[in-house]
Amino acid sequence: MVDALIWYFEVFILTYFVAINGIYTLFTFGAFFDLVRYRHRVGHGESTRNLLSETTYEPISILVPAHDEAATIVASVRCLLQLGYPSFEVIVVNDGSTDNTLDLLVKEFDLSAVASATWTRISTREVKQAYRSLKYPELLVLDKVQGGKSDALNAAINVSKYPLFCSIDADSLLEPQALRRIARAFAEDDRIIAAGGVVRVLNGALVERGGVVASRVPWRPLLLCQSLEYVRGFSAGRTSLARINSLLIIAGAFGLFRKAPVIEIGGYHRDTVCEDMELVVRLRRKAREAKRVARVIFVPDPVCWTQVPSDWGSLIQQRDRWQRGLLESLWMHRKMFMNPRYGAVGLIAMPFYTLFEALGPVIELSGYVFVAVLFFLGLLNKQFFILFLLLAGLYSIILSLTALNIDQLLFDRYRRTSDLARMMLGSVLEFFGYRQFLTLVRAFAFFTVVARRNSWGHLRRDKFSEQPVKDMG
């Protein structure tokens, strides 16, 4: 009986391993061909700025929720005010900060209190005061009672003027042409309701006048492994999922949305810790129920630079929150699972995210526990285990290197050979300890999803490595 149970479990783990890695292999190579076609269609680099005329782009409201962001808020807003986009506004929401976030904004951008006009009504916590500047008329700052990121975004939507809105984190910096590149798709296809761009690791990069002037791959293993994760996740995973109309996640750090559909469904949901995914899933669900065609896409050339956790405690908080948000979103919209009414989202996206993203960490952790039990009972086939571990590690490294080189080949992200070599080294380091650590954190989220419902925590922010700048005026 024991031998039979061991055999069945081994077969299950091996089958799951082959399935998940087979899917990721298809994603990686599918992404390569999609990215080649995309680059052939729209060009690369600075040539994209002349693709559409100035009047073709729809105006955009840029929404920046901020809670205790004193370390980065000034540089982030300065970056946004210099974006190369025809018509936009920047709305910063100070969501009950306990540090001097608001004071820094008032001083740096010469803000004065004004009456706040609201065009749309989504219920939010009280907005105490609005601020504007004669020097920067496109900038609006709201000071409100703390209600969380979703509440802050809803408050910004309420006062926004334009048909598109871009949500961006307060510790992030957009490249100058990022808005043009992501908004181009909305001008070409009015069925698009949401789009995400590329998010890159900002830690260690040099910042001048609110923009990244030199990217640097960090030396620290914790940051290096995250850098590789971001490359693999965005260049391979999201490209392929968008291709089959199954993308359910737009990164909260950088996403562009049509405002009307978001208002129609009541804005961001305040009862989840992963508001970005839940909003996208709900937009898709409501569109299918109303029998409307709605596309959610990934655009591979606009880049947003964002800070990632620089200490293990912050990383644990972030990944626990991401996993809890995934579980909450899947549960809240569980009626879509394997439901043909919802098309590819119900038949492909929901099963994929459930079986591989939600349950994957639990299954992987179960495998580790199973091996440990067999070892202590003296039942472990050590030769088979070592061979399997080596094959799994080699396969993981090959997939990471493939995604990295696809990204480098098509977009030339790393100008220094040392940076590319460092990222290749990260593909090896990631498998030995870092991945297993995150598996444990994500598996434990099955318990914290109930105990820590709506708990965000607060990640430590580091000041940007900013060069001295002159006054923007």
For residue range 246-262, what is the model confidence (pLDDT) as tens digits?
Answer: 899 998 889 999 999 99
Tell how far CA 150 is from the center of its chain.
15
Which pLDDT band holds residue 232 (cuts at 50, 70, 90)?
confident
Domain 21-354+457-461: state its class.
alpha beta
pLDDT tens across 4-22, in order? 877 788 788 888 888 888 8
**pLDDT for residue 270 is more than 70:** yes
Mean pLDDT of the residues in the chain? 85
Alpha carbons 184 and 56: distance in angstroms, whole number:
9
pLDDT tens across 286-303, in order? 999 999 989 999 998 888
Whether the CA torsion 162, 168, 169, 174 is positive or negative: it is negative
| pLDDT for res 16 | 86
Which pLDDT band holds residue 44 (cuts at 50, 70, 90)?
low
Read off the pLDDT of each residue in 46-57 and give the average, rounded to a whole number: 57
Q: Where do the domains of the chain lie?
A: 21-354+457-461
Which pLDDT band holds residue 349 (cuts at 50, 70, 90)?
very high
| pLDDT for res 409 | 78
Largest CA distance in the chain: 79
Alpha carbons 330 and 324: distance in angstroms, whole number:
10
Q: Cβ atoms within 10 A of the Cβ of 317, count?
A: 20
| pLDDT for res 194 | 95
| pLDDT for res 203 | 86
Query: In terms of pTM, does the model score above 0.95?
Result: no
| pLDDT for res 464 | 56
Question: Which of the residue ranges 222-231, 276-285, 406-415 would you say has the lowest mean pLDDT?
Answer: 406-415
Read off the pLDDT of each residue in 274-285 and give the average, rounded to a whole number: 92
Alpha carbons 60 and 256: distance in angstroms, whole number:
9
Read off the pLDDT of each residue in 347-366 and give the average, rounded to a whole number: 91
Read off the pLDDT of each residue in 155-165 and give the average, rounded to a whole number: 94
| pLDDT for res 463 | 60
Read off the pLDDT of each residue in 161-176 and give the average, rounded to a whole number: 91
**pLDDT for residue 211 is more than 70:** yes
| pLDDT for res 218 | 85
Which pLDDT band holds residue 460 (cuts at 50, 70, 90)?
low
Give CA angle at 46 (41, 51), nearest 5°: 45
Alpha carbons 265 and 278: distance in angstroms, whole number:
12
pLDDT tens across 294-332, in order? 999 999 888 898 889 989 999 999 999 999 999 999 999
The answer to whether the beta carbons of residues 206 and 342 sit under 8 Å apart is no
The answer to whether the beta carbons of residues 164 and 61 sit under 8 Å apart is yes
- How far are the Cα atoms of 156, 190, 290, 294, 426 from residue 261, in angstroms, in the given order? 16, 12, 11, 10, 41
Which pLDDT band holds residue 456 (cuts at 50, 70, 90)?
very low
Read off the pLDDT of each residue in 229-248 and give the average, rounded to a whole number: 85
**pLDDT for residue 371 is more than 60:** yes
| pLDDT for res 48 | 45
| pLDDT for res 472 | 38
**pLDDT for residue 47 is more than 80:** no
Read off the pLDDT of each residue in 27-36 and give the average, rounded to a whole number: 83
Tokens found for residue 371: 């091996």
DSSP 346: I
| pLDDT for res 216 | 81
- Of all residues in the chain, what percent carry a pLDDT higher than 70? 91
Read off the pLDDT of each residue in 103-117 and give the average, rounded to a whole number: 89
Which pLDDT band holds residue 358 (cuts at 50, 70, 90)?
very high
**pLDDT for residue 116 is more than 80:** no
